[in-house]
């Protein structure tokens, strides 16, 4: 670097932190800044001290990468001291410390406001770094409220982030679940009167959170065992996995535990009385007064399970409810846009008629409680007027007539009721941007550092994660998300749980990143059967790019989902019955074409299933060929024998004529 090469930033660091320094420099240059870095710019054989001095003087600002190694480095001390001397009072921000290690920073260096990257993942670290180097005034976008007496202080509790983002509230989050008290009371009343409650509402209206964080904790306090079943592709397996902790309490979450769950699932499917017997056994062993069984996201029975499993499982649930001798409280959650399919089943229609709770939108006061109360538990406050803005934006819809009542309990995830996940995600992002215990207007809507409002927060986050994946990773991201969505004709796309080993081959690192960045969630069930799904269906609607991928590959993805289910059934079938499950005829021809054109989008199990069908066809063809040869041989032999008989007869007739 020459003295004419003025840079925006000189990166000062200890040798032990070179990877951090290079990462920081790369992020800054990627954002359009210029940097000077010893590892990249200092010429071999040059005078190090002279090059360092020129870099500090010619660069507008110096970043000090703070770590234990840096604070004990003589050169590091000289570099930050030189930058500090240029601007000792900090008006120009010439020295910008960036802490990358959890250390105490004392003395003069400790008095300078620094950027803290300790404990952050890569995406959040980049956001904080780029936000920290901005030197704009921190003036809010809206006028601050008039200083009034502070609201009562709440003692902080140990809460990392009280907002759930796109994830459902669960039993352990009951203290953070606000705004649904009237519906909790209604569901509990139905369970008390009917031993049944069917919670029906729009996608994103909070059905799962209401049941898990609102209803189940109360039932548990009344002495009931609580069991959660997600039907997925196999409702009996989902039920067995929900019960396995009670049925096999001695097993930890290992492969043995989930193998036992598979055995129970087979028993539930084969024997009508297996489930009531095991429930009674579990209640007796636990000393509980009853069992509250939550069948969460019951629409999966219609969208993912086979028609046969759907019908028999619903009849099983109906018997549990209708049998007055059992101590089972049954709670179901169901997306409203699946009501047409639901009422076609007599068992479910009767249950819906008996005890349906229609989950509508939150009132403004309930929304405000859901916004403000969790933060107050942690001792954090909102800037005056921000909760009201959030309430306003959360209830805004595109209904031209201003009447959203009809859609509040429909399947329309864009209704007022269905926007709760977007609000929760925005609150989670705001929490990460709080400043000195205050969540500000600027964090909500600042063009550079804000989250982009309720509508934009999730989309921006998804796009940032996708961009950070790199070109190769983006190919895997697209394939992963396409495999995690199922299309139901006439309905919105819905998410589906998929075993982790069924995702794109070699994509483990990408899946881990998507889980870490809260776009996917993992239900760990032992090393062999960990399940992965999109964190919430709101992501499908809020991310235009994902909708584009789904539309582009709709036909192939629907075919592949069917092949995946057939391959799983074939893989787990008894060996003697496996040949009966293989593809034949036109379906096999189509599979061979797709295998040839899209092999890299199929799992090893799916490829093996198709290959087994091809092998079976070849064996059948060989056997048919051998059969034809044998047939021809028999025919030829028969013809030869007949010819021989005819010749003998002719000889005998000729002899007889001569003798005559």
Instruction: For the chain of 660 residues, list the mean pLDDT of each consecutive stretch of 10.
Output: 66 89 90 86 67 79 88 74 63 78 74 81 84 62 52 44 89 93 95 95 92 95 93 92 86 71 89 87 88 96 91 95 86 94 95 95 93 92 94 70 45 62 92 89 82 86 88 90 85 83 76 88 61 87 90 89 85 80 88 86 85 86 65 61 62 63
C-alpha to C-alpha distance for 242 and 482, rounded to whole angstroms? 27
Question: DSSP strand E in 401-495: where?
Answer: 438-439, 485-486, 494-495
Number of helices (H), then strands (E), in the chain = 30, 17
DSSP 435: B
Integer Cα distance of 469 and 349 in angstroms: 46
Enclosing H/E stretch for 294: strand 290-295
Please state, in angstroms and rounded to a whole number, the distance separating the CA atoms of residues 493 and 511. 21
Residue 632, φ and ψ in degrees, nearest 5 = -60, -40
Classify the C-alpha dihedral 629-635-638-643 as positive or negative.
negative
pLDDT, position 346 = 95
Enter the tokens of residue 332: 């179901």
Q: How far is the C-alpha of 45 from the C-alpha of 562, rounded, in Å?
A: 65
- The dihedrals phi and psi of 201, each to the nearest 5 degrees, come to -170, 175
Q: Three-class SS of residue 291?
A: strand
Within 157-215, residue ranges assigned H as helices are 181-194, 207-209
Q: Residue 151 has what pLDDT? A: 41
Q: Which helix (H) or strand (E) holds 356?
A: strand 356-359
- How many Å from the N-terminal Cα to the C-terminal Cα in the chain? 129
Beta-strand relationship, 531-534 and 520-523: antiparallel
What are the backbone angles phi and psi of residue 150, rounded to the nearest 5°? Answer: -65, 150
Indicate the burial class of 150 (C-beta count within 10 angstroms; 0-12, 13-18, 19 or more).
Answer: exposed
pLDDT value for 606:
85
Helix (H) or strand (E) holding 198: strand 196-201
Q: Helix-strand-coil percent breakdown of the chain, rounded to 5?
A: 60, 10, 30
58: buried, middle or exposed (CB in 10 Å: 19+, 13-18, 0-12)? middle
Residue 347 is predicted with a pLDDT of: 96
Closest C-alpha to 199, from 409, 358, 347, 410 = 358
Helices marked H in 332-363: 339-342, 346-355
Torsion-angle region of 4 (φ positive above 0: left; ψ -120 to 50: alpha; else: beta): alpha
Report the DSSP beta bridge partners of residue 198.
332, 356
- Burial label, 212 (beta-carbon count in 10 A; 0-12, 13-18, 19+): buried
Q: How far apart are CA 89 and CA 133, in angstroms?
A: 17
Q: How far apart are CA 30 and CA 405, in angstroms?
A: 47
Cα separation values, 351 from 203, 302, 348, 356, 359, Å: 21, 16, 5, 8, 16
Strand partners of residue 97: 64
DSSP notation for 92-150? S--EEEEE-S-----HHHHTS--EE-TT--HHHHHHHHHHHH--S----SSPPPP--PP
Buried b (16+ CB within 10 A) or exposed e, 456-469: bbbbebbeebbeeb
Place of tokens 């776009």: 519
At residue 402, the pLDDT reads 40
By DSSP bridging, strand 9-12 and strand 356-359 are unpaired
Question: Which tokens go with 37?
Answer: 């870095």
Whole-number Cα distances in Å, 393 to 390, 416, 454, 461: 5, 10, 7, 19
pLDDT of residue 60: 85
Residue with tokens 């998507």: 514
* Beta carbons within 10 angstroms of residue 167's beta carbon: 18
Q: Is 521 helix (H, G, I), strand (E, B) or coil?
A: strand
> Going edge to edge, which strands form the sheet with 328-335?
224-229, 290-295, 328-335, 196-201, 356-359
Residue 398: strand, helix, or coil: coil
The 3-class SS string of 554-616 reads HHHHHHHHHHHHHHHHHHHCCHHHHHHHCCCHHHHHHHHHHHHHHHHHCCHHHHHHHHHHHHH
Can you tell me the distance from the alpha carbon of 168 to that of 421, in angstroms, rounded to the nearest whole number?
A: 9
CA distance 245 to 239: 11
CA–centroid distance for 319 within its chain = 33
């Amino acid at each position: 670097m020459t003295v004419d090469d003025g840079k925006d930033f000189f990166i000062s660091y200890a040798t032990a932190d070179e990877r951090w320094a290079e990462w920081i420099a790369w992020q800054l240059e990627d954002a359009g800044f210029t940097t000077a870095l010893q590892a990249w710019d200092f010429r071999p054989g040059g005078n190090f001290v002279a090059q360092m001095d020129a870099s500090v003087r010619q660069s507008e600002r110096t970043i000090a990468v703070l770590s234990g190694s840096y604070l004990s480095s003589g050169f590091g001390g000289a570099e930050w001291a030189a930058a500090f001397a240029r601007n000792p009072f900090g008006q120009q921000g010439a020295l910008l410390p960036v802490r990358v290690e959890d250390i105490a920073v004392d003395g003069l260096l400790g008095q300078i406001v620094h950027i803290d990257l300790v404990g952050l993942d890569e995406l959040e670290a980049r956001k904080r770094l780029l936000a920290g180097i901005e030197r704009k005034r921190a003036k809010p976008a809206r006028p601050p409220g008039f200083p009034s007496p502070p609201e009562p202080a709440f003692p902080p509790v140990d809460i990392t982030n009280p907002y759930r983002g796109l994830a459902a509230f669960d039993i352990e989050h009951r203290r953070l679940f606000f705004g649904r008290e009237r519906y909790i009371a209604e569901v509990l009343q139905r369970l008390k009167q009917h031993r049944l409650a069917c919670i029906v509402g729009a996608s994103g209206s909070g059905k799962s959170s209401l049941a898990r964080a609102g209803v189940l904790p109360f039932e548990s306090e009344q002495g009931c065992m609580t069991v959660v079943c997600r039907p997925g592709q196999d409702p009996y397996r989902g039920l067995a996995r929900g019960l396995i902790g009670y049925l096999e309490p001695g097993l930890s979450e290992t492969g043995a535990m989930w193998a036992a769950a598979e055995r129970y699932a087979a028993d539930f499917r084969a024997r009508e009385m297996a489930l009531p017997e095991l429930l009674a056994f579990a209640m007796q062993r636990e000393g509980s007064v009853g069992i509250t069984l939550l069948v969460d996201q019951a629409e999966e029975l219609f969208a993912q399970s086979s028609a046969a499993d759907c019908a028999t499982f619903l009849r099983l649930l109906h018997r549990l409810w209708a049998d007055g001798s059992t101590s089972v409280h049954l709670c179901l959650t169901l997306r409203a846009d699946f009501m047409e399919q639901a009422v076609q089943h007599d068992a479910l229609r009767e249950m819906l008629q008996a005890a349906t709770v229609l989950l509508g939108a939150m009132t403004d006061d309930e929304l405000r409680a859901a916004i403000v109360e969790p933060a107050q538990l942690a001792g954090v406050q909102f800037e005056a007027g921000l909760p009201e803005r959030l309430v306003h934006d959360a209830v805004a819809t595109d209904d031209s007539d201003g009447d959203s009542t009809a859609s509040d309990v429909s399947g329309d995830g864009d209704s007022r009721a269905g926007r709760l996940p977007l609000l929760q995600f925005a609150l989670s992002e705001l929490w990460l941007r709080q400043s000195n215990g205050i969540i500000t207007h600027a964090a909500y809507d600042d063009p550079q550092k804000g989250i982009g409002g309720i509508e934009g927060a999730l989309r921006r986050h998804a796009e940032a994660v996708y961009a950070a994946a790199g070109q190769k990773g983006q190919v895997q991201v697209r394939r992963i998300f396409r495999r995690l969505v199922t299309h139901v004709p006439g309905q919105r796309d819905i998410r589906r749980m998929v075993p982790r080993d069924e995702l794109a081959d070699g994509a483990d690192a990408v899946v881990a990143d998507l889980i870490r960045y809260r776009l996917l969630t993992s239900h760990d069930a032992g090393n062999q059967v960990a399940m992965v799904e999109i964190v919430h269906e709101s992501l499908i609607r809020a991310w235009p790019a994902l909708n584009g991928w789904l539309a582009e590959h709709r036909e192939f993805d629907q075919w592949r989902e069917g092949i995946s289910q057939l391959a799983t059934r074939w893989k787990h079938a008894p060996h003697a019955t496996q040949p009966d499950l293989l593809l034949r005829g036109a379906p096999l021809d189509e599979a061979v074409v797709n295998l040839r054109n899209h092999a890299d989008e199929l799992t090893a199990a799916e490829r093996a299933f198709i290959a087994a069908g091809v092998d079976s066809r070849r064996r059948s063809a060989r056997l048919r060929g051998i059969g034809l040869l044998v047939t021809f041989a028999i025919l030829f032999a028969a013809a030869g024998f007949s010819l021989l008989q005819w010749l003998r007869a002719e000889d005998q007739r000729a002899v007889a004529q001569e003798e005559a």
